[in-house]
Amino acid sequence: MWTRLAYNLVLALAAPFAWLRLFVKARREPAYAARRGERFGRVPAGISRGVIWIHAVSAGEVNGAAPVVRALRERLPDARFLVTTMTPAGSEAVRTGLGDVAEHCYAPYDFPWAVSRFVARVEPRLLVLMETELWPNLIRATRRAGAPVALINARLSERAARGYARVGRLTRQMLGQLDSVVCQYDDTARRFKALGAPPERVVVAGSVKFDLTPPPDMAEQVAKLRRRWAQGRLAWVAGSTHPGEDEVVLRAHEALLKQFPSLLLALAPRHPARTQDIARRCAERGFKVARLSGGTAGGVAPQVLLVDVMGRLLHCYGIADVALLCGSFAPIGGHNPIEAALHGVPMLMGPHRFNWKEVERRFHAQGCLGYVAEDTLAPAVAALLADSAERRRQSRLARATVARNRGATARLTACLLALIVDGDGAGATVRGGVTR
């Protein structure tokens, strides 16, 4: 009780800064200025009641949730689905990837009054949290409303586990309210149990992101990108760069152009609002630059293509001969390698890989994901670009690794259906963890 009161006191003190943070973010990314009320529990008029509610923070989590939503929709054709996110990128991912099967709005911040208002309005039958979206008040309000709560595709690094352990009592209370914790791998399951999750409710199902199905027009969109930008040239993609990583990538590209003068770099910042700053850095280095959202300057083939459009990185991997998975040269922990592997692209990562430890380990063990440092990045990319046979070998291994690790969606769906009884139309629910 006292830990929850302390948590809510901190939130109350932080409330004015939440508004300020939205205004600051809106200056860099204007989409944050829209629909602010939703973040404080105001639900749009068109949102249904009695929904199966899936909460995913941003685009990557939405893409991971998509196969599960569609699988549940097949089993429960009369159910209403609501997918909430915290970022505009996530909002766009719902619109483009799930707009035909799910409604969308932003999730409320974890203020008790905001989540209570939200839950009372949407009347969820089930709340499904993706990966590590653990919010004490959100979980508590949903359980008090009589709906079960499941955490799925859960992943928890050692670093994140240490953070939760610092507020151990609050963490134990929160985890004790979860009806099911469906983890990607055994290491995450061990950490959740150590933090206080009831062992009988913790299961291991693998990563649902291996079940990602490319959109039907993927081949067509990749072909268009290749015709417009690659034009028969070798290309490498730096996916989801963070501040500080752009310089690492641009230095490597500068060195690579000496050996491969027509080489194209597609650079995708994690937050497209940084595109202008990156374009300035490219100009300072004398690169010919284009933006995915526009045309080439003067019709000249660019040396750097800035991917400034949300949701297009998956397509851009399709034109790559080599993919660099960023967030790994900064202490971010790296980003999802599966999207590049779907296209059969040889992959490289920097030294910070803790976010996807079990996933990237599978690709590394098969020999299709290499580890590099800042000073070895350019030589590693050059070696792959110069060896088409090695690229083909790694391509086959990447695709085979994805195929071998599929199946999590079916296991997750079974876990969630065990929490839902599609009875007389009232959407009755039943609680209880799913055991291994």
Looking at the annotation, which residues are catalytic?
61
Beta strands 180-183 and 369-371: pairing type? unpaired
How far apart are alpha carbons 239 and 290 in whole angstroms?
16
What is the distance between the alpha carbons of residues 302 and 313, in angstroms, rounded to a whole number?
18
Helix 136-144 to helix 168-176 angle (10° resolution) is: 30
* Residues making up the chain, counted from first to last: 436
How buried is residue 375: exposed, middle or buried, by Cβ count under 10 Å (0-12/13-18/19+)? Answer: exposed
Distance set, CA 357 to CA 165, 203, 288, 364 (Å) = 20, 18, 36, 10
> What is the DSSP-derived secondary structure letter of residue 331?
T
- DSSP secondary structure letters along 120-188: HHH--SEEEEETT---HHHHHHHHHTT--EEEEEE---HHHHHHHHHTHHHHHHHHHT-SEEEESSHHH
Given the DSSP bridges, would you call strands 52-55 and 81-85 parallel, antiparallel or unpaired? Answer: parallel
